Amino acid sequence: MSRDEEKYDVDIQEVENDEVEIYELSQPTDEEIYASIIEALHNNDQEAFEEEFFKNHTYDQAQIYLTLEPADRVKVHHYLDPKELAEVYDIIDEDDHDQILTFLYDMEDHYAADVLSFMYTDNAVDILNELKPEKIRTYMHLMPKAAADDIKVLMHYADETVGSIMTTEFVSITTNQTVKSAMTMLRAKAANAETIYYLYVVDDDNRLVGVLSLRDLIVNDGNVMINELMSDRVVSVDVNEDQINVARTIQDYDFLAVPVVEETGELIGIVTVDDVIDVLDDEAMQDYSGLAGVDVDEQFTSPWASAKSRLPWLIILLFLGMGTSSLISNYEGMISEVATLSLFITLITGTSGNAGTQSLAVAVRKLATPDDEDSNLGSMILREILTGLISGGVTGFVVMIVVGIWQHNFILGGVIGISMLAAITVANLAGSLIPILMDKLGLDPAVTSGPFISTLSDLTSVLIYFTIASQFLHLLA
């Protein structure tokens, strides 16, 4: 019986009259599986460990492996051969790479080098890039030359480029092959390829000239020539492009993979959808971190390191906030004359800050997707101004009625309402202009705009509020 066939236990319950047997399939729980694996490790029972471990999906194997105690993990390194462990490492998320580095250092160097050599090249490079240089040299020296050469090719590409995330494990065929010969080649290479659903067609100089799917091979006669089946309209990406561009390409076309070419058109690798998911996740995390002015991954760092990363923004914003406080102090005479004005400072600054952040999110998204329709930045700014006028008008009218009834003073309500309208409109304008300015200066608008916009909105909304209030001071007093 195969490992897959042993996934379920069969419990036979006999009915009292013996006329019917009921077969109830029950799947062990995750806790039961984990307990069985731990028990096998503690009993030094390699056969029982392998039987229980390989019943699980590779992802579940990785999660089990990550939770093992060091002593148990050492036994796993003895029980699994490097190729089997490489399959586990291939599926471990990048967020857990710090743990992987520790595990590699605990292994014997030859074993660790073999594990890395059996991994998909792009995944191995991700791990090696986080190791100390002397350790990289050791592993590269110990692993097979072919694997080391493939890794060296990827390691020289800059971070966050297509070349840094591509894999060289793919299947390519030539135009002068038949379907039959292509299938023979596919069978020979499939075991080591990261995906076989697309086959890329190259000419004699290894330049990408076409593409066809696995389905095309299966449904056609073996004597049909590849150049008759292939599509010559191939979507590809340059190896030196930003990784977010290949992510958008796969997202737009719903590809499982996209070919990577040199400037000459030579096919050198592919980027698969699982790598793109990681890229999009990283980009989203960076944007979220920027809007909050903090690294959301710092939960894994020490309190001192977290404080050190947060302090620069806090100090900068502290001085900007002092500007707002200084501005308010200039209106102390007005506040002492009409003390009620102080009640609504936070209302106006908070609302305008929220409006600015909303506008900022739209602008950052627009800058991140320049090939969207209606990508003209001028139209986006105009739209945000009109949105601010509408939102500010409605919000201002509501607050005018509420304040007028609450304070029995509709002149005060009108001042608050007009200030709200102006503050929200200006905040929307700032929220769309600031990320564009940051982008023009070569700064990441997502990282540099978030904390700045809320503090700037406080400053401008206070100035607007008291400027308008001063025009009606004789009526308010």
CATH pick for 172-282 out of 3.40.50.1820, 1.50.10.100, 3.30.9.10, 3.10.580.10: 3.10.580.10
Fold of 4-157: MgtE N-terminal fold (1.25.60)
Q: What is residue 379's predicted lDDT score, i.e. its pLDDT?
A: 81
| 12 contact partners, CB below 8 Å, separation of at least 6 | 21, 22, 23
- DSSP assignment of 187-199 equals HHHGGG-S--SEE
> What is the model's pLDDT at position 27?
58
Q: How far apart are CA 408 and CA 406, in angstroms?
A: 6
198 - beta bridge partners? Answer: 213
Q: State the Cα–Cα distance between residues 152 and 409, nearest whole angstrom.
A: 75
Contact indicator for 284, 364 with CB cutoff of 8 Å? no
* Residue with token string 């009993």: 43
Show the beta-strand stretches assigned E in 341-400.
none
What pLDDT score does 17 carry? 43
Q: Which helix (H) or strand (E) holds 26?
A: strand 21-26
Phi, psi of 282 (to 5 degrees): -65, -45
CA dihedral 452→458→461→463, nearest 10 degrees, is -100
- Domain layout of the chain by residue ranges: 4-157, 172-282, 296-476
Neighbours of 454 (CB within 10 A): 23
d(CA 51, CA 83): 17
So what's the pLDDT on residue 450? 62
Cβ-Cβ contacts under 8 Å for 109 (sequence gap 6 or more): 138, 139, 142
Tell me how far apart the alpha carbons of residues 176 and 332 are, in angstroms, rounded to a whole number.
85
> Is the sign of the CA dihedral 336, 337, 341, 345 positive or negative?
negative
Per-position DSSP letters for 200-217, written without gaps between them: EEE-TT-BEEEEEEHHHH
Tokens for 283, please give them. 């980009």
**How many Å apart are CA 325 and CA 332, to the nearest integer?**
11
Asked if residue 121 lies in contact with residue 167, where contact means CB atoms within 8 angstroms, the answer is yes
The span from the CA of 341 to the CA of 476, in Å, is 9
Handedness of CA 49, 55, 58, 61 (dihedral sign): negative
- 92: which DSSP letter? S
Tell me how far apart the alpha carbons of residues 289 and 459 are, in angstroms, rounded to a whole number: 23
Whole-angstrom distance, CA of residue 268 vs CA of residue 184: 22
Q: What residues have CB less than 8 Å from 121, skipping those under 6 apart?
A: 147, 150, 151, 154, 167, 168, 169
State how far the Cα of 239 lies from the Cα of 164, in Å rounded to an integer: 8
Q: State residue 22's pLDDT score.
A: 40
Give the position of tokens 């302090």: 311
Candidates 449, 468, 425, 274; CA nearest to 357 is: 449
Give the per-residue pLDDT at 20. 41
Q: Give the Cα separation of 125 and 115 in Å (integer).
A: 12
**Count of alpha carbons within 13 Å of 300, Cβ hemisphere only?**
8
Neighbour order of strands in the sheet with 267-272: 237-238, 257-261, 267-272
Q: Give me the pLDDT at residue 8, please.
A: 36
* CA-wise closest residue to 377 among 463, 292, 438: 438
pLDDT mean by block of 10 residues, the chain; 477 residues: 41 41 52 88 93 91 91 93 93 80 90 93 89 91 91 86 89 93 91 89 94 92 93 92 87 90 93 83 61 51 67 72 79 82 87 84 70 63 89 92 90 92 90 80 61 79 90 79
- The H or E element that residue 325 is part of is helix 303-329
Q: Tokens in use for 95?
A: 């967020």
What CATH code is assigned to 296-476? 1.10.357.20
